Structure 1
């Protein structure tokens, strides 16, 4: 694809962000790869650890939501935030009391996150295709992620270890693609600043 000779303000802002932060794409990819290796090597431990982390996240997020809602006196929608936070706290407590029992819930959360991530990354590729060559990496990342999420929705009862193995494989693929994209961004930044 040819480079746009008169980039839009949005592209210039994205380029400035990439100049300073391309390494964040790389770091994210490395973290995905590390989790993928852990989940493939020790699936039971990885799944249990993820369930506990998920429960802790729900608790912390719920507490912050409740506090934020109570502090926002008179704000529209504060009760939605309050009740959402309360629900998050209750689900988090349930998950902490029996993390093994939360595997199915966790499977659906992974599925939703994978689908949302895939759609977002795919659409990002569509939006930058005129400015960046090599956007195919984003398309592949998006499609792989959506397919993984749909598989989990379609067959959630495939077992906790299978979910952990699938999450590990997904994480490994996404991590590799993110690392490739990080170096593509770095290359773009170097060529744009010459």
Structure 2
């Protein structure tokens, strides 16, 4: 991730960095998504699908935009580095899954559970890969959040027949926990970069 424009703060040290605003924005949006899902625990599958689709589209677009920005800022060219390619590819996959959620909002709990599980897996793999590129304390935070997302994705895929109520609660709780972890990782990384 890259230096935030007009700021000396970086999310990691060394040549491979992640924009503070991208990590923080992803955390805030994930936390808000989880809170919105928990605010309506009796929500219909259609509402869950719409909220999930919007969340994935926003996160995916942010990752793609961050990848282009990172490549420009890191290399002082319009090219994208390896981290940017990985982040951008996962962003595109999240956009595709988000569109799938929006199109499949009424197909059933199992389809929604599988799509949400795939989204958590993709997000987790992206976090782990970005953590491998990162340095210092940010590496540990990104790896932890990535592994957590992978575990949640596996849970969703292992039990696709969850009841709607269980699916809504599990989605909301995991989104809030992982979103707060992303916010904490961004704040900690920024504090480390300015220290």
Shorter-chain TM band: 0.5 to 0.7
TM-score, structure 2 length as denominator?
A: 0.60
Match of 1:154 in 2: 158
1:103 equivalenced with 2:113 (yes/no): no
SS of the residue corresponding to residue 157 of structure 1 reads: coil
Match of 2:148 in 1: 144
1:41–1:51 Cα change, 3 Å: same
Gaps of 5+ in 1: 1-9, 58-84
Large movers: runs of 4+ above 4 Å: 53-57
For residue 46 of structure 1, report the CA deviation from its aligned partner: 6.9
Kindly report the root-mean-square deviation, in angstroms, between the aligned alpha carbons of the 2 structures.
3.1
Contact 2:35 2:172 in 1 (8 A): yes
For residue 42 of structure 1, report the CA deviation from its aligned partner: 1.4
TM-score, structure 1 length as denominator?
A: 0.60
Gaps of 5+ in 2: 1-12, 56-95
1:30–1:47 Cα change, 3 Å: farther
For residue 44 of structure 1, report the CA deviation from its aligned partner: 3.1
Larger radius of gyration: 1
Correspondent of 2:25 among 18, 24, 27: 27
- Whole-Å separation in 1 of the counterparts to 2:44 and 2:21: 26
1:172 equivalenced with 2:170 (yes/no): no
Q: How many residues align?
A: 140
Correspondent of 1:123 among 116, 126, 129: 129
- Whole-Å separation in 1 of the counterparts to 2:176 and 2:31: 5
For residue 107 of structure 1, report the CA deviation from its aligned partner: 1.2
Greater RCO structure (CA 8 Å; 6+ sep): 1
1:36 equivalenced with 2:37 (yes/no): no
